[in-house]
Structure 1
Amino acid sequence: MPTETGGIKANGISQAFEGRPTLVWDKKSDTLKDSKTGTVYVAKDARWVPQSGQGSPLAVGWKENVGFDNFKSLFANEALRGKFLSVFAWNIAFPLLSVLTTFVLGMLLALLLNDSRIKGRGIYRSLLILPYAIPVFVSALVWASMFNQEFGLINDLTGLNVDWFGDPWAARAAILLTNLWLGFPYMFVVCTGALQSIPGDVLEAAKIDGASPIRTLRSVIMPLLLVAVGPLLIASFAFNFNNFGLIYLLTAGGPFTDGNSTAGSTDLLITMSYRLAIDGANPNFGLASAVAVIIFIIVGLLSFPGFMKTKALEEVN
């Protein structure tokens, strides 16, 4: 219930209290005044800062048009630019390597189990799909425990003493291995369906013409396979480009080097944007939004040539 000096608000069933604002806005001077301390705040750099210049700014934000300043900070600020470029380089390498490794392993397994001479193919196929049926967050947490340096299964079985989450390159390798386990069943299923759709008379004609198995794979099977799988590879690249869940659950973007907590060695642009906007000590929604816009542009520019290539592959049919 509003009053002249504030408002009455219920506190439980039988009690209430009269609340009064501690900050009062002066419309004429566009300032905020703390009624308790008498401090006057003015809007500056999207924050309410003390007019006297002494003291901390308020936690309350303020809307201010900054133009392209956030984009300029990403490329003009030397410290931020160095981290942004290193994250960008890993963000390109991670989806490329993920798509390549998962596709190659899934395709090889699909080719192997496409041979009618193998008995129990249905059982093998069912077992290979199991990793895809387990939720990603469960698999990521399990793999994170297996990569533990002291008690993890990986070091125990191999006899190694690798600090998987303390060394930047080891952490990246751990992410790629985990994503290989998570991603190859999808590629296996897709390639299996695509291989079964290839007409048998085409393969028989290649055999009659004297084509070796390697030549048949390279000149007949792969072009027909890419017609069906090509768009899915592009979609897989776009998904892994923004694979927030895997990075955040496995390494949380770390390890962090040089005392910089803004971006880690395994951070993607999406996790860097999340840390800038929410998870950091000083949230900066504007800078995080600029990173998100750049992500959109990059994915669009990288996907367009791929879709043009897959359109050309349709002529194979």
Structure 2
Amino acid sequence: MNAPLSGQGSAQQAPGREPVGSRPPGQRAARDHAPTTLTGLAVKVVLLGLTAGIATWAAFPLVEAEKWVGLALLAATTAGLFYLYLTPRHIPAKYLVPGTLFLIAFQVFPVLYTASTAFTNFGDGHRGTKDDAVVAIQTASVKQVPGSVEYALSIATKGDPATGPLVFLVSDPSTGAVSVGDAEGLRQLDPADVTVAPGGKVTAADGYTVLNFGQAGARGQEITDLVVPTAGGAIRSTGLTRAYEGKAVRAYDAGCDCVRDSETGKSWSADEETGSFVAADGERLAQGWKVNVGLSNFSRVLTDPNISGPFFGTLIWNFGFAIGSTGLTFLLGMAIALALHSPRVRGTNLYRVLLILPYAMPSFAMLLVWRDMFNTDFGLVNNLFGLGVDWFGQDWSARAAVLLVQLWLGYPYMFLVATGALQAIPAELTEATSVDGASPWQSFRAVTLPLLLVALSPLLIASFAYNFNNINAIWLTTEGGPFPADNPRNGATDLLITYTYRLAFGAQGAEYGTAAAVSIFIFAIVATVSAISFRRTRKQEEVYA
């Protein structure tokens, strides 16, 4: 008997079933597609509805700002998502698109925004547009002059009386009209929505909480600083119950593109390259506007002595901290792992549980505990060893303290990964070296350590990158100190990341553009070191493969 030909056999089908190849591809896809469950349909409707709601919410600011490119991108993205999830096609894309969008939103966009900020003068005094700067200059120069209109004033807020944004409720003495004013301007209220006491003082207003004298007194500086721009000048407070509409001493002249002071006659011309109004004698007005400054911020980091000196000094210590933290934790963790890897040690499980306790505790809490332990007067370290070291008062003692804290916090992680790597090394390799007459140290150096490095090199590179930007380790222990008397911005234990943070949010004025430029340098340094390290790791893997 001869077996049937393969072609004939494949054509035979079970009774009542049509041949697989007889249906067109579209019909096969439709038949193979599982029906949508009610739960799946509900989840899809909710998520697509949420997407439409977010897109609609985001569209209004884009339309108001006339960002048509952004609006078109938003519309195209929303339409693409609806098409993707309302059709049965493109199954892989349904899983890839959400992750891609989150990657763009939380990784790519912040990096690009930081990079774009590095090419501007964005910071205190240079946050808005030129028109915003003109308004700020004019309102800041408002003074009360003879004939200035005075108003009965009430202080109010729409939020919490202690923290909510403040507004002025003023009553016009000539018409009795009540208006609400803030930094955006003055808006008249409906008389039916307010209650006015004899004398014109507003005692209640719908949607607002009127502050009493105690609440207003606690926010006296905010009330003094609040300026409400008007067509004729601006409204400022005189105490807690009265306000006046003063005249701006400094005004913008479009003809000369400058700001003139009506009292002194001095003028400040607009400098579009720096985003400032500059006088002939070089004086700059504090309020400017945001402009593109090209590579100026990068040049300042490298050439300006006030920035380049701290930058390069901090960079050297930053490398020392990252290498020291990674190297010391690796050496201690590996040594403990080797000790517990010996079959002669008993109770290894108990030891391992005790040794990883620092890793199980919240690092920010432990950093605060260690800061107290290094206290000069009542700290545990000085009292236990009978020392009188001012740990955080001297440069090198503060750096040593930070490295010791990092050693205690970081060795459990290295101990865990080294333990796992040691268990993956075949025992036959080390036994073979012993048979050849090698000592334990020679066996470790020739076999165990190279194989450990092959397995752990990527983790060491990641640990270096993490410690290079480990802001918590510094900020919660030394806060970057100790600081020299002539430079409160840069301390002995500052990393580039803490120095950048202080540039961006320091009490002496924010310099977001310069801080962004330093961030780009940090990114380039870490990326270069990581790329070189990974390349050497691959060569090492090829040797021991």
Q: TM-score, normalised by structure 1?
A: 0.87
Matches within 5 A, 1:278-289: 278-289=505-516
In structure 1, what is the Cα distance between the partners aligned to 2:330 and 2:319?
17
Q: Which moved more, 1:45-54 or 1:173-182?
A: 45-54
TM-superposed deviation, 1:164: 0.6
Of 337, 347, 369 in structure 2, the residue corresponding to residue 120 of structure 1 is 347
In structure 2, what is the Cα distance between the partners aligned to 1:257 and 1:268?
15
In structure 2, what is the Cα distance between the partners aligned to 1:117 and 1:16?
75
Given the alignment of the two structures, is residue 64 of structure 1 paired with residue 243 of structure 2, yes or no? Answer: no
Given the alignment of the two structures, is residue 240 of structure 1 paired with residue 419 of structure 2, yes or no? Answer: no
Show the counterpart of 1:187: 414
In structure 1, what is the Cα distance between the partners aligned to 2:387 and 2:463?
32
Deviations 1:99-141 (A, max 9, x none): 1110000000000011122111111101111101111110110
In structure 1, what is the Cα distance between the partners aligned to 2:207 and 2:451?
75
Show the counterpart of 2:301: 74
In structure 2, what is the Cα distance between the partners aligned to 1:155 and 1:271?
27
In structure 2, what is the Cα distance between the partners aligned to 1:81 and 1:55?
25
In structure 2, what is the Cα distance between the partners aligned to 1:9 and 1:143?
57
Show the counterpart of 2:392: 165
Q: Secondary structure at the match of 1:227?
A: helix
Of 73, 89, 107 in structure 1, the residue corresponding to residue 316 of structure 2 is 89
Given the alignment of the two structures, is residue 211 of structure 1 paired with residue 390 of structure 2, yes or no? Answer: no
Given the alignment of the two structures, is residue 291 of structure 1 paired with residue 518 of structure 2, yes or no? Answer: yes
In structure 2, what is the Cα distance between the partners aligned to 1:160 and 1:310?
44
Deviations 1:191-210 (A, max 9, x none): 00000011122222222222
One-letter identity of the residue aligned with 1:141: L
Q: Say if 1:61 and 1:154 are closer, same or farther in 2 by CA, change over 3 A.
A: farther
One-letter identity of the residue aligned with 1:314: E
In structure 1, what is the Cα distance between the partners aligned to 2:254 and 2:415?
65
TM-superposed deviation, 1:51: 6.4
One-letter identity of the residue aligned with 2:344: R
Q: Secondary structure at the match of 1:250?
A: coil
Given the alignment of the two structures, is residue 135 of structure 1 paired with residue 314 of structure 2, yes or no? Answer: no
In structure 1, what is the Cα distance between the partners aligned to 2:188 and 2:340?
69
**Using CA pairs below 8 Å that are at least 6 residues apart, which structure has the higher relative contact order?**
1
In structure 1, what is the Cα distance between the partners aligned to 2:427 and 2:254?
80
Deviations 1:237-287 (A, max 9, x none): 100100111111111111011420121111111111100111241211111
In structure 2, what is the Cα distance between the partners aligned to 1:256 and 1:265?
6
Rg comparison, structure with higher value:
2
Question: Are the aligned partners of 1:273 and 1:292 in contact in 2 as well (CA < 8 Å)?
Answer: yes
TM-superposed deviation, 1:84: 1.4
Question: Are the aligned partners of 2:276 and 2:288 in contact in 1 as well (CA < 8 Å)?
Answer: yes
Q: Say if 1:15 and 1:195 are closer, same or farther in 2 by CA, change over 3 A.
A: closer
The aligned length equals 313
Q: Secondary structure at the match of 1:8?
A: strand
TM-superposed deviation, 1:2: 11
Show the counterpart of 2:535: 308
What residue ranges of structure 2 are gaps of 5+ in the alignment? Answer: 1-178, 190-203, 211-227, 235-247
Show the counterpart of 1:148: 375
Sequence identity (%): 45
Given the alignment of the two structures, is residue 221 of structure 1 paired with residue 448 of structure 2, yes or no? Answer: yes
Q: Which moved more, 1:73-82 or 1:196-205?
A: 73-82
Question: Are the aligned partners of 2:259 and 2:277 in contact in 1 as well (CA < 8 Å)?
Answer: no
Q: Say if 1:41 and 1:195 are closer, same or farther in 2 by CA, change over 3 A.
A: same
TM-superposed deviation, 1:15: 5.0
One-letter identity of the residue aligned with 1:268: L
In structure 2, what is the Cα distance between the partners aligned to 1:271 and 1:132?
24
In structure 1, what is the Cα distance between the partners aligned to 2:537 and 2:424?
18
One-letter identity of the residue aligned with 1:250: T
Matches within 5 A, 1:250-265: 250-265=477-492
Deviations 1:46-101 (A, max 9, x none): 5655869899845x652112111112212222232222111111011111111111
TM-superposed deviation, 1:298: 0.8
Q: Which moved more, 1:237-246 or 1:197-206?
A: 197-206
Q: Say if 1:314 and 1:26 are closer, same or farther in 2 by CA, change over 3 A.
A: farther
Q: Say if 1:94 and 1:54 are closer, same or farther in 2 by CA, change over 3 A.
A: closer
Show the counterpart of 2:187: 8
Question: Are the aligned partners of 1:147 and 1:154 in contact in 2 as well (CA < 8 Å)?
Answer: yes
CA RMSD of aligned residues (A): 3.2
What residue ranges of structure 1 are gaps of 5+ in the alignment? Answer: none
In structure 2, what is the Cα distance between the partners aligned to 1:277 and 1:43?
25
Q: Say if 1:39 and 1:222 are closer, same or farther in 2 by CA, change over 3 A.
A: same
In structure 2, what is the Cα distance between the partners aligned to 1:90 and 1:130?
29
Q: Secondary structure at the match of 2:500?
A: helix
TM-superposed deviation, 1:41: 7.3
Question: Are the aligned partners of 2:268 and 2:284 in contact in 1 as well (CA < 8 Å)?
Answer: no
More strand by share: 2
Q: Say if 1:82 and 1:26 are closer, same or farther in 2 by CA, change over 3 A.
A: same
In structure 2, what is the Cα distance between the partners aligned to 1:30 and 1:305?
52
Q: Secondary structure at the match of 1:282?
A: coil
In structure 1, what is the Cα distance between the partners aligned to 2:356 and 2:485?
41
In structure 2, what is the Cα distance between the partners aligned to 1:15 and 1:53?
47
